[in-house]
Amino acid sequence: MLALTFSTGIVDAIGFLALDRVFTGNMTGNVVILGMAMTGATDLPVVGPLVALLMFFLGAMLAGRRLRGSPDGWSPATTVIFATVAICLALEGLAFLVFGATVFPYKTEAAAAVLGFVMGAQAAAARKVKVADVTTVVVTSTLTALAAESRFGAGTDQPWVRRVLAVTLILLGALAGAALLTVGLWVAFALSTAVTTAVLILGHRRMKTEDTADG
C-alpha cells in the first residue's frame, strides 16, 4: 500500500501538470479547484476536475460492488481490481506514446476520466486491504494523526514510521512524476504501471502462500 501511495503521487503529478490542473487521486484538491473555478473570476478548469471527481466516485462504487462479501485483507477480488488499475494505466500510457502528438477533442478530459476511475477503484481496494493510515490516495488524515499523537501532541504510541513513509512516498511520487514528464508523459505512466503491477504480483503471491499455509 505504501508503494501504491508512491504511484498515486506520480498519477497526481500527471493530472495536475499534464492534464490541465486536475487531481486524479486527491479528490479534496478537485473539490477546492471546482469551488474556486465556479466564481468565474479565475482561469481554473471546471470540466476536468468535475469529470475526475465523478469518475473517481464511479470507480470506487464499482470496486466496492466487486469487493462485496470478500474478507478484509488481500483477496481474489482485490487482485482483479489492482490488475484493472495496472491495465488501464498501461493502456493510457501506450495511447499517449502512440497518439501523444495528435490533437483530438477532449483528450485531456478523457485521460482524467480514466485516471479518476482507476484511482477510485484503487482507493476502495486499499480500504478493504486495511493497512492503517495508508489509503494510497491522500495523506491529510495520516499527517494529522502523526502530529496529533506525537511526543509534543497527545504523546501516545503511534506507528510513526508507516505514517512518515506514507507522506514521504506520495511526495517522492509527485517528484518522480514531475521529473519524468520532462522526458515523456508515457514514461511517467510506465513507472506507475510498473509499481502497481509489482504490488499486484506480490500481494497475490502472498495471498496464495497464506491460503496454502492455512490449508
Look at residue 87 and tell me whether its pLDDT is greater than 80. Answer: yes
What pLDDT does residue 101 have?
55
What pLDDT does residue 43 have?
86
What pLDDT does residue 157 have?
84
Cell of 147: 502530529
pLDDT, tens only, 145-182: 899 988 888 888 888 899 999 999 999 999 999 999 99
Look at residue 123 and tell me whether its pLDDT is greater than 80. Answer: yes
What pLDDT does residue 75 have?
92
Q: Over 65-92, what HEC string results?
A: HHHCCCCCCCCHHHHHHHHHHHHHHHHH
Max CA pair span of the chain? 63
Amino acid 190 reads A
Look at residue 104 and tell me whether its pLDDT is greater than 90. Answer: no
Mean per-residue pLDDT over the chain, rounded: 90
Look at residue 214 and tell me whether its pLDDT is greater than 70. Answer: no
Look at residue 82 and tell me whether its pLDDT is greater than 70. Answer: yes
DSSP 125-160: HHHHHT-TT--SS--HHHHHHHHHTSTTTT-----H
What pLDDT does residue 105 have?
61
Cα 110 to chain centroid distance, Å, stands at: 17
Look at residue 44 and tell me whether its pLDDT is greater than 90. Answer: no
Look at residue 193 and tell me whether its pLDDT is greater than 60. Answer: yes
